[in-house]
Chain A
Amino acid sequence: MFASDNDPFPDAHSRRYRIRGRFDCALFAAFTRQRAALLALRIVSLRTAPGLVEALVAGEPALLGMFEMACALGPGNCIVDDMTSEACESDRCL
């Protein structure tokens, strides 16, 4: 997947999340980084556009599930209208 000699997550799964809603993208992106750090997940890529945060995240599947739940709720003052989550093949995602 992301295997390399120094990959700390050799068994990692990865998922791509697209989160649309009414929020400050920078604030929401910071929240996703914090949650990923808390859950020992690796953010492979993170991009934002107005009303959109898109993150490719790798790690333990159960922890990815918790990450997804946290993002679906979001931080205070952020309203998530729509969220998609898909398993990724590394080639296609990267």
Chain B
Amino acid sequence: MTMWHPVALGADIPAGTVAPVRLHGDEVVLWRDEAGILHAWEDRCPHRGMRLSFGFVRKGRLACLYHGWQFDGEGRCRHIPAHPDLSPPGTIRARTWRADEAHGFVWLAHDGSESLPAMKDGAFTAARSIAIESARGTVAAALGIGQDPVLSRDGLICAVHAADGETTMLHVAVANPADAADAALWAQRTRDSIERGEAVAWELHL
């Protein structure tokens, strides 16, 4: 069975930008090409191991900051600046993850072949992705997130993922765009409550 994990708000990765993500400590680079297509790879250049998330997007390719090796949307190396006339062999490629988008969240899967399960998708507005210095289990329990990776409650759509063993990202979107600012503040209060070991208050508008 393919495990899909929500790891970011799609709105936090605009076209032409790069972002690092950690999922249970695995380092992944997310990048979106100019056409809006999202890519997820292991955050490591096959050349010398530099973080690809330090790199930048140019003409549909991700360029490593270190020596400028460029990788196309499939992860294949297409250009090596030190050897401009060389056609890089197909063996040089970044390790890819599976990525998809739904509910305004970016989802990752490491292996398996099943697609992201269909969800009741509305037009959700991203409010905030926020780091909580508590383990994922603690955060999920405090929010009442069970088997379902996404929790919909009081107009809030919440998802969580473990960056590492001690740090959890809470991703919050809203059905009503007018609620986005309050939802961002709610996320902040929720972070503070969970870190203090207090109960989560679900009032969106104070």
Contact = CB atoms under 8 A, between A and B. Distances in A.
Interface of A: 37-40, 60, 62-63, 66
A40 B90 contact: yes
B91 A40 contact: yes
Nearest to A37: B91
Contacts, number: 19
Interface string B52-85: 0000000000000000000000000000100100
B196 to A, nearest CB: 41
B86 A62 contact: yes
Contacts of A63: 86, 89
Contact of B86 (A37, A38, A60): A60
B86 A40 contact: no
A74 B96 CA distance: 25
B46 interface: yes
B147 to A, nearest CB: 40
Contacts of B92: 38-40
Contacts of A39: 89, 91-92
